[in-house]
């Protein structure tokens, strides 16, 4: 179908099917190609799939893909519940931003975790390197079965402190 300069609209009261018969090893590089001859702006929609109630999939001119959103702000943005499955589905090699209220996984993450609504570990949380809690403007507490640190800094349940170097306690120094 070549419409010249106008829109091409396919209308059907049933299904519209696109079939291809690309031969294996042929010289055609794409079995199905949807391309624009115009240089799209970042927020122009290259492709939208949906129905009369919802845009289910959107690909923008900058390559961002949205599932459940028509305005994805990152390379992949999923609005709603996101489930990953497979033999090793939770290995990530970049930054992970979690903005929901619940996340259940056993991830291996080589990058930054940003949890905008809190981070709860209902099991062992292991840091194999330096870690920071808070930004000097936050209050926090540690509550274990053996010892606690309150949001005011009070420590309870500590029977003895052993140090192999200097430490400062309430303005006094000990060795």
pLDDT in tens, 24-35: 766 666 667 777
- How far is Cα 166 from Cα 133, in angstroms, rounded to an integer? 23
pLDDT in tens, 119-146: 777 777 777 777 777 666 777 777 777 8
Strand pairing class (55-60; 65-67): antiparallel
Report which DSSP code applies to 23: P
> pTM here?
0.52
């Amino acid at each position: 179908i070549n419409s010249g300069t106008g829109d091409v609209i396919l209308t059907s009261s049933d299904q519209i099917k696109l079939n291809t018969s690309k031969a294996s090893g042929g010289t055609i590089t794409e079995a199905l190609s949807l391309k624009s001859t115009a240089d799209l702006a970042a927020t122009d929609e290259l492709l939208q799939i949906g129905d009369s109630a919802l845009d289910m999939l959107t690909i923008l001119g900058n390559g961002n893909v949205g599932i459940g959103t028509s305005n994805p702000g990152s390379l992949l943005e999923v609005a709603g519940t996101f489930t990953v499955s497979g033999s090793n589905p939770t290995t990530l090699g970049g930054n992970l931003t979690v903005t929901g209220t619940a996340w259940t996984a056993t991830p291996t993450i080589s990058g930054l975790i940003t949890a905008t609504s809190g981070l709860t570990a209902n099991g062992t949380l292991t840091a194999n390197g330096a870690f920071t809690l808070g930004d000097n403007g936050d209050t926090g507490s540690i509550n274990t079965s053996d010892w606690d640190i309150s949001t005011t800094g009070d420590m309870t349940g500590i029977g003895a402190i052993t140090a192999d170097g200097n430490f400062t306690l309430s303005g006094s120094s000990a060795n």
